[in-house]
Homo-oligomer: A and B are copies of this chain.
Amino acid sequence: MSKQAAGGSHRVAPVHTDPEDVSVLTALSALADPVRIQLIRELAVSADWTRSCGSFDVPVGKAALSHHFSVLRGAGLVEQRDQGPKRVNRLRREEFDARFPGLLDLLLRSDGAD
């Protein structure tokens, strides 16, 4: 049977929030974190669906990482898909830009020192 992009690899399919349903406060809160900023920046320079959750160079454990991705999903910033044992990611650039124009650009334009 075809199994790629099937519905539900791990336990349940990841819960996503449409950027249109995200409040400004939620969006800003999601972005106001050093680890999540780094995740977004790394995602931004990677092709869609090429980065698994564990492939990011962040100074936190797996549990915290999973939590951060949950926050990013809830803010409509990231989409996830199960691919075999891995969960691959995609930055929802266009959709998020439509809801919050310029916000992502702001984050990605700044130097890494920020």
A residues with CB within 8 A of B: 23-25, 28-29, 31-34, 37, 100-103, 105-107, 110, 113-114
Contact = CB atoms under 8 A, between A and B. Distances in A.
Contacts of A32: 25, 28-29, 31-32
Number of copies: 2
A21 to B, nearest CB: 11
A24 B104 CA distance: 11
A56 B49 CA distance: 47
Contacts of A103: 102-103, 106
Most chain-B Cβ atoms within 10 A of its Cβ — which of A25, A29, A105? A25
Nearest to A103: B106
B29 A25 contact: no
